[in-house]
Amino acid sequence: MGLFRAASGLARLALRRNLARAAASPFAGGGGGAVPGATPARYFHSTRARRFAAPAPRAVPLSRLTDSFLDGTSSVYLEELQRAWEADPNSVDESWDNFFRNFVGQAAATSPGLSGQTIQESMRLLLLVRAYQVSGHMKAKLDPLGLEERPVPDVLDPAFYGFSEADLDREFFLGVWRMAGFLSENRPVQTMRSVLERLEQAYCGTIGYEYMHIPDRDKCNWLRDKIETVNPREYTYDRRQVMLDRLIWSTQFENFLATKWTTAKRFGLEGAETLIPGMKEMFDRAADLGVESIVIGMPHRGRLNVLGNVVRKPLRQIFSEFSGGTKPVNEGEGLYTGTGDVKYHLGTSYDRPTRSGKHIHLSLVANPSHLEAVDPVVAGKTRAKQYYSNDRDRTKNLGVLLHGDGSFSGQGVVYETLHLSALENYTTGGTIHIVVNNQVAFTTDPRSGRSSQYCTDVAKALDAPIFHVNGDDLEAVVHVCELAAEWRQTFHSDVVVDIVCYRRFGHNEIDEPSFTQPKMYKVIRSHPSALEIYQNTLLESGKISKEEIDRLNKKVSTILNEEFKNSKDYVPNKRDWLSAYWTGFKSPEQISRIRNTGVKPEILKRVGEAMTTLPENFKPHRAVKKIFDQRRQMIETGEGIDWAVGEALAFATLIVEGNHVRLSGQDVERGTFSHRHSVIHDQETGERYCPLDNLVMNQDEELFTVSNSSLSEFAVLGFELGYSMENPNSLVLWEAQFGDFANGAQVIFDQFLSSGESKWLRQTGLVVCLPHGYDGQGPEHSSARLERFLQMSDDNPYVIPEMDPTMRKQIQQCNWQVVNVTTPANYFHVLRRQIHRDFRKPLIVMSPKNLLRHKDCKSNLSEFDDLAGHPGFDKQGTRFKRLIKDQNNHKDLEEGINRLVLCSGKVYYELDEERRKLERTDVAICRVEQLCPFPYDLIQRELKRYPNAEIVWCQEEPMNMGAYSYINPRLLTAMKALGRGSIEDIKYVGRAPSAATATGFYSVHVQEQTELVQKALQRDPISHPF
């Protein structure tokens, strides 16, 4: 045990300097986290020297970490303090009083050999103890390859405190402390050697513990107790045999794939095989502590191994899919296969028994290639599981995320997700993070990949404990995996396991790693596997026999070979996306009838009343009170219902029908535009009141959840997506502050929302509200980039699908719906439609800003009900209108109409006003409320109604944006089918093409807007663009 460092060169110089400094001031350097004189390395292996170090993160002074008695910063101070204490014990702080009393009292009583020892010496030793707790991990042997170039911090060197070899066998007074760990043991006097041995064993073995950044003393003590205990890892024969068995499975699985599919990409786990036994032991421990269901998110590395060995997806199925992925044969309805995905992205779920005979449900969430994007999705799904299983203390459902070292430190969504972890409406009671830290990201060394010392440093912002472990030491990996499960079940917060390992081959199996990491790979080539290491350790210590090892190996290889044989005849089952909640839901191939979404007038009145009634003594803001009075009037008179009330009625009616409604996003409680007021605040007490929480007797407070989110788009949208996927009987909405900001979550739109069903056969009815509309607020607050959502829509622009209402599957076969609705009633119906159907589809809403208060953007309550004869009730009943026809009571044939203006969104109201002003009775204006999928039938109905009309598409967005590019070919297809002209007959009115979404000058905006509205109603024929 090298307790004193073999200092050389620069280090020796630094040591001498520090010794001198230490002699003058034993507390110099903050006494803990700082590493004086040394540049902290931020990587383990290195193939070239670092020239420019990033500034080291500032050390946290010990004094702030825990015990107040360490506040003193010099021996002079200490001596003065002691003199003052001797003169008057009350003159010093209580903690110092305790210290001196303790030292003088106990030291004298305990050992006569202590004579001559000074308080300073005892203090210095205590500081050394503390330094191990803070920085011991810096000396831990974490890198299996031994390539780490981390200087050991001076604070871990006894010489730094003025001790020499001669002091090793001297006895020192340490006292008995009211803290966990070995200082609390009743051994106030110990030799320095025994102290150091314990510290080295606890902190500098193959596990490096980082926990002293946690400000909570109880949590630190809990960990200290576990860490500083004698012999923390005494496993029985049986446990060792299970661990070995699991490691054999993990190792042989990769070897088997490698021999059977020599050139296939599988992103193997070789070099990190201990992950599998680690995860399994973690899950077993979690199950022992009450966990019943685990949601897992993970990247490519080792995914097949996790699927096969942890989640227990049948090996024959994995092998069959590996052999080229047989598409399921079509043996009847409901075997929809979508476009599929590569094998290492697919998700699945299974029940599996644990070591102690319990059962645990494991689901691996499908993920795209985009690293870490699945993190918030897993968190959201876990949270939803907790809601639906009434898991109030969040101990039954656990989220586990696996990460690569490069991704964990590099991808911002990691930080965004971590910051959801303790928020009331987003917490899952702690996620366990496991980093497969193979010390390289594709071809990039850590020194080029991050500025922090460890790849896990981001988690320190959350006060999560971090357990770094040498991936070659199976028992150590298992130990920290179990500890992580215990932490999570005890403290209900995030924890990180950082398995420091290596990648035996290239980034994937057909990649050559020596091009870029030659030195590392030279070492790897002759490095034994974790399995070889563990087998040898067990053999050498006589803990298991060679015969037993052979037997286990043989058993595993026999099963692998049998499963391989069986995979040849493997017939894929029907799609497995239907969890219990989804039974009866239809695939895109199975027709789902369109239903009415109107609600009985008495229910509308009743919920309307409940949602506008405030508790008696509640004192809302005056302006809010007025809004609620107006709302009440709207309900009572049944007239002039505005956007916010329309939305609240949709939520309320869904809630009383027993559905869960959850709306989340930045400032959604009040509403960015101060229109929603779904939570109101008592102006005197600050108390909150949510009317929609009080619709039914004893309403569960989470049944309706409206929640301001953190200022994140990527993680929050991902979270809500995951939430929406768990149970179809929930309306889950995410609202962007302004539609523009949605691009911060682009990965979720591209990789999950628009394509998830097609790739992974998972449905979601998530609603995304994106405030959109040109009202002169400048380039960043006008456009939700409607064009992008439409471009991602997969309805064929040149084929009119079956549109007969009894046969129509158009909306089921499209990847999502994009709407720009213009009335509160239509918004109400489009939201309710999300639930009142037998399938789920994402809904993108271009939501309004100025329509929230527009005098004409109002609906009557009769448009929300389902009474025959009421406005809104047509031949089929009351439901969402995909297109709103001209409001002028036109007949089925209007030959005198000269122009049909088709538009979408709030520009309608401006066009209508201009038309009224100009008294243009020969112009019809129709609103395309649902842009995607395109309402061919209704468009054709209008085309037929106005046989002589010039056809105009009018939008307020620039020509290269908005719906124009989407509408054009579809409108043409609709026209051609009716023999009604060519592409040149579609006239465009709107802004000219532009790089920026909108002008920043208000006056220019007004001019542009006026011009486009006037142009759409000009008397002369429109000649643009042809």
Nearest-approach distance from CB 368 to ligand TPP, in angstroms: 8
Shortest distance, position 405 Cβ to ligand TPP, whole Å: 4
Q: In terms of CB distance, is 45 or 301 closer to ligand TPP?
A: 301
Beta strand pairing call for 359-364 and 293-297: parallel
Q: Verify binding: residue 404, Mg ion, rule CB under 5 A.
A: yes
Tokens standing for residue 757: 């069903």
If contact means CB under 5 to 8 A according to the sort of partner, which of Mg ion, ligand TPP, none does residue 301 touch? ligand TPP
- Residue 68, SS3? helix
DSSP 400-415: EEEEEHHHHHH-HHHH
Q: How far is the CB of 246 from Mg ion (least distance, A)?
A: 23
The item of Mg ion, ligand TPP, none sharing an interface with residue 251, based on CB under 5 to 8 Å by kind, is none
Buried (b) or exposed (e) across 115-133, using 16+ Cβ within 10 A? eebebbbbbbbbbbbbbbb
Shortest distance (Å) from residue 439 CB to ligand TPP = 8
* Identity of the amino acid at 865: D
Q: Which stretch binds Mg ion (CB under 5 A): 432-440, 527-535, 549-557, 807-815?
A: 432-440
Q: For the CB of residue 982, give the shortest distance to ligand TPP in the complex, in Å.
A: 44
Q: What are phi and psi of 969, to 5 degrees?
A: -65, -30
What is the rounded distance in angstroms from the CA atom of residue 620 to the CA atom of residue 635? 20
Q: At closest approach, how far in Å is the CB of 471 from ligand TPP?
A: 12
Which residues have C-beta within 8 Å of that of residue 700, sequence separation ≥ 6?
Answer: none
Query: What are the residues facing 469 on neighbouring strands?
Result: 207, 499
Nearest to 867 by CA among 858, 881, 877, 882: 877
CB of 484 to Mg ion, least distance (A): 20
Tally of residues, the chain: 1026
87 CB neighbour count, 10 Å cutoff: 9
Q: Which does 370 bind (CB under 5 to 8 A by kind): ligand TPP, Mg ion, none?
A: ligand TPP
Q: Which does 980 bind (CB under 5 to 8 A by kind): Mg ion, ligand TPP, none?
A: none
Q: Which residue is nearest to ligand TPP (CB)?
A: 404
Q: Do residues 904 and 689 lie in contact, with contact meaning Cβ atoms separated by under 8 Å? A: no
Kindly tell me which of 466 and 483 has the beta carbon lying closer to ligand TPP. Answer: 466
CB of 158 or CB of 404, closer to ligand TPP: 404
**Pick from ligand TPP, Mg ion, none: which does 183 bind, CB < 5 to 8 A by kind?**
none
Question: Measured from the CB atom, is 268 or 598 closer to ligand TPP?
Answer: 268
Pick between residue 370 and residue 619 the one whose CB is nearest to ligand TPP.
370
Sign of the Cα torsion 579, 582, 584, 588 reads negative
**Which partner, Mg ion, ligand TPP, none, binds residue 371 by CB below 5 to 8 Å per kind?**
ligand TPP
- For Cα atoms 193, 198, 199, give the angle at the middle one, nearest 5 degrees: 100
Residue 72's binding partner among ligand TPP, Mg ion, none (Cβ under 5 to 8 angstroms by kind) is none
Handedness of CA 908, 912, 913, 917 (dihedral sign): positive
Whichever of 404 and 771 has its CB closer to Mg ion, that residue is 404
For position 438 contacting Mg ion by CB under 5 A, the verdict is yes
Closest separation between CB of residue 504 and Mg ion, Å? Answer: 13
β-bridge mates for residue 294, sequence order: 362, 398
Binding site for ligand TPP (CB under 6 A): 301, 369-371, 404-407, 436, 438, 440-442, 507
Nearer to Mg ion among residue 30 and residue 406 (C-beta): 406
Quick check: 341 binds Mg ion (CB under 5 A)? no
How near is the Cβ of 369 to Mg ion at its closest, in Å? 15
Q: Is 979 left (phi over 0), alpha (psi -120 to 50) or beta?
A: left
The span from the first CA to the last CA of the chain, in angstroms, equals 86
Q: Which stretch binds Mg ion (CB under 5 A): 256-264, 398-406, 652-660, 959-967?
A: 398-406
In the complex, least distance from residue 991 CB atom to ligand TPP, rounded to whole angstroms: 34
Q: Which of residues 946-975 bind Mg ion (CB under 5 A)?
A: none
Q: What is the DSSP track for 689-757? A: E-GGG-SSTT--TTTEEEEE--S-SHHHHHHHHHHHHH-SSEEEEEE-SSGGGGGGGHHIIIIIITTHH
Query: Binding to Mg ion by residue 405, rule CB under 5 A?
Result: yes
Q: Binds 442, which of Mg ion, ligand TPP, none (CB < 5 to 8 A, cut-off by type)?
A: ligand TPP
The tally of CA atoms less than 13 A away on the side-chain side of residue 299 is 25
User: What is the residue type of 238?
Assistant: D
Which region among 251-259, 404-412, 638-646, 736-744 touches Mg ion (by CB under 5 A)?
A: 404-412
User: In terms of CB distance, is 267 or 760 closer to Mg ion?
Assistant: 267
Shortest Å, Cβ 407 to ligand TPP: 3
Q: Which is nearer to ligand TPP, 438 or 659 (CB)?
A: 438
441 binds Mg ion (CB under 5 A): yes
Binding part of the chain for Mg ion, among 314-322, 437-445, 739-747, 857-865 by CB under 5 A, reads 437-445
Cα 965 from chain centre: 34
**Distance from C-alpha of 239 to C-alpha of 712, rounded to nearest angstrom:** 44
DSSP label of 366: P
> Closer to ligand TPP at the Cβ: 268 or 958?
268
Which is nearer to ligand TPP, 198 or 301 (by Cβ)?
301
Q: How far is the CB of 441 from Mg ion (least distance, A)?
A: 5
Please compute Rg for the chain using Cα positions.
Answer: 34
- Which of 371, 401 has the CB closer to ligand TPP? 371
Q: Site residues (CB under 5 A) for Mg ion?
A: 404-406, 438, 441
